[in-house]
Amino acid sequence: MSFINYASREINCKIVYYGPGLCGKTTNLQFVYQKTAPEAKGKMISLATETERTLFFDFLPLALGEIRGFKTRFHLYTVPGQVFYDASRKLILKGVDGVVFVADSQEERMDANMESVENLRINLIEQGYDLDKMPYVIQYNKRDLPNVVSIEELRRELNPTGVPEFEACATTGEGVFETLKAVAKLILFDLKKGK
């Protein structure tokens, strides 16, 4: 849950990027890191294997500026996407304020997407959260590849509740900031409602 500090006038929120292995969660964070002004970002930490697969998490702190005199900070995390890292994924969801589901648009990854979104729902329930009641957006990544599934089909399979959705190509950065902005907005509005 977000941490509000009246003493130092800060609000900290946690965003988790979820999705199947190799869907581009880390690439999303890397792009945000590259394109953010040095004074607005901290160090990006990647706990990855030698082959650059995420082992535990990536972490990127962003200080976006002030709202009504309060410094607003977002901590971006990714989970390890590979199926067998489920225990680690559960840990990273602790205290989450908003979730971005990164889907791999390639046809052969549809099953992996569906399995991962189901896994997200179950792991959130274990932590006491309901995916339908929290800030949640979906990103359809890798739209630049030739063998992609249509948006209609992705929507039907992955977004039945109609949460905000974005097409993206994380390697070039298309859609990356739109996604982040959307989830940040939902989180801030949730805070406004005093949840």
- Using CB under 8 A, list all residues that contact another protein: 1-8, 11-12, 14, 42-43, 45, 47, 56-57, 59, 61, 64-65, 67-70, 72, 75, 87-88, 90-92, 94-95, 127-129, 177, 181, 184-185, 188-189, 191-192, 194
- Amino acid 156 reads R
Q: Please choose, from the candidates 127, 116, 121, 125, the residue with its C-alpha nearest in 3D space to the C-alpha of residue 91.
A: 127
Cβ-based nearer residue to another protein, 35 or 156: 35
CB of 127 to another protein, least distance (A): 5
Q: What burial letters (b/e) apply to 95-119, b meaning 16+ CB within 10 Å?
A: ebbbbbbbbbbbeebbebbeebbeb
CB of 74 to another protein, least distance (A): 9
DSSP reduced 3-state for 131 = helix
* Bridge partners for 16 per DSSP: 77, 99
Cβ-based nearer residue to another protein, 7 or 161: 7
CB of 108 to another protein, least distance (A): 32
Six-digit token pair at 180?
A: 């982040």
Cβ-based nearer residue to another protein, 6 or 108: 6
Cβ-based nearer residue to another protein, 23 or 188: 188
How far apart are the C-alpha atoms of 99 and 120, rounded to whole Å?
A: 9
How far apart are the C-alpha atoms of 191 and 98, rounded to whole Å?
A: 11
CB of 189 to another protein, least distance (A): 8
CB of 7 to another protein, least distance (A): 3
Six-digit token pair at 53?
A: 């697969």
Cβ-based nearer residue to another protein, 49 or 65: 65
- Amino acid 32 reads V
